Each structure stands twice: as C-alpha cells, then as structure tokens.
Structure 1
C-alpha cells in the first residue's frame, strides 16, 4: 500500500483527500492494482475521536451537511470512496466491480491505519446501504486489531437483506441464489433513470447536487457476480452475532415499485425496511432502532424534517455511547 497523493478535495477547502494504491489480494483479474480514497474534514484537528463513513452501491461521499453536523459534535470526520467507486474509479476496472465483499477489508484497514497515524484512538463507523453490509462483515471478521478502537456502528438503511418483504424473501432467496450462481458473468443493463435518483438529484427537481458520472441516475449495470457476493455476505452475517453497540436508522416504510417520484419520496425506494430490520435484529445483540418518517433510502438525502430527525438520532445515540464508554 502506498499513499499516492494528498490534496484539497473537490468539496472545497474544508476537505482533504488522500489517494492510496495497493494490490487487490482478492482479484482474479490480471490487472489488480486498485485505488482507494480517504476524504476528511479539517475540523477538530486535535480530537482523538472520529466518525468513519462508508457509502453505498453506485455512490460516493458528497454529503457535506452530514459531515458538518458530526464535526459540530466534536468529532473528526472521515469518509471513504472504496475501490471502484467515485474518486477511486480507474479505467483498468469496471466501476463498482466486486470480486468479493472481503476485498473491501483492505480499504477499511488502510482507512483505520491512517486514522491511527492522525492521532485517532476511538472510531464510530457510519455506513449506508451496501456500505452497511461491508462494514458489518468486516467487524464480524475482526480485522481491525491493532487499529483505533471501534466504539460503535451506525447504520443508515443497510443492505442486510434483498429488497423483498420477509415472506416473499423466504420463497425467492433460493431461486435468486441459483440464478446468479449459474450466470455469474451476466448483467442487468442499466437503461432508465430510477425514480429514486429523480427524487434526489437537482437535475430532476431534487435537492442535491452530485456527480452523475460517479452516481449515475440509471445506476451502473448490475453484475450477477456482485449480487452473488452480496447474498453470500448477507448469509454469512445472518449467522454471526455482533455485540458492538449498533444504531439502525431506517425509513418507516418502503416505496419500492411506486410509479411516481412523489410516491417514492414517501419512504425507502430501494430496500425493504421490514426485511432490513429482521436481519439487523438477528445479527446485532446491542441494537438501538430509530424509524424516520418519510426517510429516503439515504436518510441524509431526505427532505429536511426527516433529515433533521436522522441527525438527532445520530446525536442522541452518540451522546449515550460517549457517557457509557467514556470516549
């Protein structure tokens, strides 16, 4: 692993970005040099506690309001663009390509080792969607020994189960696993703009400005191999018991399959919140749950009332953990 460069981030003078290059030990491709990017807010430079944020699928870090809120609580804030995502996309590999969920252990080890070099002793992980699956799997496998102490995990609509209601998921899980296993090199082509993307990006009337080349409105082509790895990680996690203090924040309802942007904006338009909750309750033994009325899939991109409720949930839970654990 080597640090290639550090520079002001595209988000402005309050943010710095460090880019690392390393060999992906999990890659079967002949070109296995990959990059990962660690962005940090310059606030609270002497603090020894930090939040480390990990994004979801077809995503990257751009949620500055979230970062600034957490910095206002006295934390240093860091965020990753994992290998193959956002700032870490390179021509040598397809965007979002995933040989194995385990490959992201390297990104997280690099991030935590860098935080240690920065003087951080205590970390709370914050992860969204597929990032929630990646971070939870990493913590379950205990790859963070010798690094800053991970004091807790905050999950923002984590991808812990496929996006079907619990009863339907039980019937469909095996057929889906067989299908993706038989067709590992197949893709579902991304063609249409998703209603979720239309509900959040300013180009379509949403509130947020972000790069559509890194987070395209139609998504990237969906690899069956990626889906197989996700299912494998979900099954693994369902058989683990994590005792780390964990906060699950999710919308109060799912709006998958709705026909309009307005309907989609009433809840989580990507995942099923009931299956998400059931999976979290199976794995995490010290779990606090907060339901956000009309929260979007990424709660930090919700309309202001839901967003404020989400920030308050993070704040309250962090204060409880600080008092209980003394960090």
Structure 2
C-alpha cells in the first residue's frame, strides 16, 4: 500500500496478534530518518461494520497489551485500534535502538499509516487516545495537521475525521513541580543539547515497574523485553526532542475536544511501592495540568484518585473511574455510537 500524501509505505503482512484470536496485527515498512523502519497496527475484530473508532497510542518504554481497554471500547460500540510506533514493542528491529527518534514529529508517519489504514477499513471518525509520551506525540501531530504541503489536499479524503482527543497522563511537561520546572527547564535543555550522544544508563528496576508486573506482585503480565523494568537507556537527544516538542505545544491552541485524565497527586520519589501506588509516580500532575490548559482550548480535565501513571493499570476502583470518565466524555461527542 502506498500513501496518498506523498510518503510511501508497504504492508508486509497481517496475522493473528500475540494477544489472541480477537486481535489482528498489520506490520508496515517505510523509510525512517536514517534507515527502513516498521510500525505495527493492531485492531480488535469486534464491531467490523462500525464507522467510529478509537486509536490508542502508547507511552515511552511501552507497547499495546491492555486487552481489557480494547474490550471496553468495543462494548461501547466502537472499533478499536492501537499502534506500536517505530522502535517500540512489535516494531522493534535490530537496525534501530529501541525508543530512538530524531524528532517527535517523525511519529506522524506512523499515525498517517494508522489513520489511512483505518479509513480503508471503513472508519470515518476517530477519537485518538494517547498515554504519556504518546499524548505528546498525538498532540504534536494534531497541532500540525497540514505540516506537509501534500497533506492538506488529501487530508479529508485519505484519513478519518479526528473528532476528539483523550489523554491519559500526557507527558506535556518535564516531571518537576511548576516552580522547579521554571528554574530547571533551560539548564536541562542546554545540557542535553551539548551532549546529544550521551545516555543515562538504565541500571536499577524502577519502583513504578514494581507496582505493575506480576513478577513483582503487580496485576499485569506483559513482555519485559518490550517494557523492561529498568527501562531502556535514556538518550539525551530524545530528551532534547521531547523538550522542544513540549515548548512548541505551549504556543499552539488545539481546538479539538480534549479530555485529559490524570491522577489526583504525584508520587515521584516515593521509596515504597505502596506510597508510589497512591498517585502518578512518573510525572508531575500540577505541571501537566498547567501545560494542558495552555495548549487545549476545548479542554475537560478529570482527576482520578489513586490513579497510577497509566491510569488503566491502576487498581480498582481507580481503573473503573478512569474508564467511566472516558465513557461519559465520549457521550458528549456527536459521533458517539
């Protein structure tokens, strides 16, 4: 399959996904900044004739494995899709380091492929759901829908209409409280710009991982090679591109209806699993909220008590509150099934 907006990709194969018979996976190949890369579109087979869909975009050191999330939206009448971006999960290849990117904007190619494929499947309207860095990726994409000259003339007919955006603990600001963030953002940006080829080595299992995986007593069983408990080595170049994308978004006004869900508190730096599980152990909620208010002009924010960084992976009843918040918000959109 080739893209109708001047970029080209090829579907390599389609097969039953590793999540089981209810899921299919399609893998695509296309030219990345330095080498050929892959992206993988997963979809639940439910509601094959529905014209409304959810597209899920995962976070950093992450991939799609949340089958219950898919079933939730299928039960609401939507089709459900998720994408493993280039360099993540099902799309990791030996030719590129995991999670590597030249810029946040490059993931627009993955989203173009996903949306064009969904359109070919008969989807006319889509709500995008982005978690953490995935929230930054999709916000950057939607802030520049016509960044490519070729995209403008093809956008409406080649892609479904994106009618809403849901963000799960989006990475819109560095993980510092607002007053601290104002002091440290420029020094950090200067440091990572001066040392773009440096890394912070992943040595210790982080406490957030210990709140999640069954091997540490958590509820979730996922692939530790794709979502390692130590994380992948953190590239200074990647962090610089994140900071640039975050600063660019502050100067945008995204008018699409947007729901931002986040934990009630941040628990960064807590030393025990029990303390970390009381809130978001990865990002600062106050800085996230402030950034969201600057970027989205049609914004609804919902706070989830005792919600983890990935709200869907929280304990009950926080998980149920998160799903309920999305369901209620979707009912306010005219396109809801």
Q: What TM-score, normalized by structure 2, do the two folds share?
A: 0.94
**Deviation of 1:326 (Å):** 6.8
- 3-state SS, counterpart of residue 317 of structure 2: helix
Distance 1:287 1:159 in 2: 16
Pair 1:161 & 2:166 matched: no
In structure 2, what is the equivalent of residue 74 of structure 1? 77
**Deviation of 1:304 (Å):** 1.4
In structure 2, what is the equivalent of residue 22 of structure 1? 30
**Deviation of 1:150 (Å):** 0.3
Q: Deviations over 1:207-230 (max 9, x none)?
A: 000000000000000000000000
User: Which residue among 287, 291, 306 is the counterpart of 2:318?
Assistant: 306
In structure 1, what is the equivalent of residue 333 of structure 2? 321
Contact 2:260 2:302 (8 Å CA) reproduced = yes
In structure 1, what is the equivalent of residue 89 of structure 2? 86
Say how many residue pairs are matched: 320
In structure 2, what is the equivalent of residue 297 of structure 1? 309
In structure 1, what is the equivalent of residue 115 of structure 2? 112
In structure 1, what is the equivalent of residue 3 of structure 2? none
Distance 2:247 2:209 in 1: 28
Distance 2:280 2:336 in 1: 35
In structure 2, what is the equivalent of residue 96 of structure 1? 99
Contact 2:330 2:336 (8 Å CA) reproduced = no
Distance 1:7 1:174 in 2: 46
Q: Deviations over 1:244-298 (max 9, x none)?
A: 0000000000000000011000000000000000000000000001000000000
RMSD, matched Cα? 0.9
- Could you list the runs of 5+ residues in structure 1 that have no partner in the other structure? none
User: Which residue among 217, 238, 260 is the counterpart of 2:250?
Assistant: 238
Give the alignment of 1:196-275 within 5 angstroms: 196-275=208-287
Distance 1:277 1:326 in 2: 26
Distance 1:98 1:63, change over 3 A: same
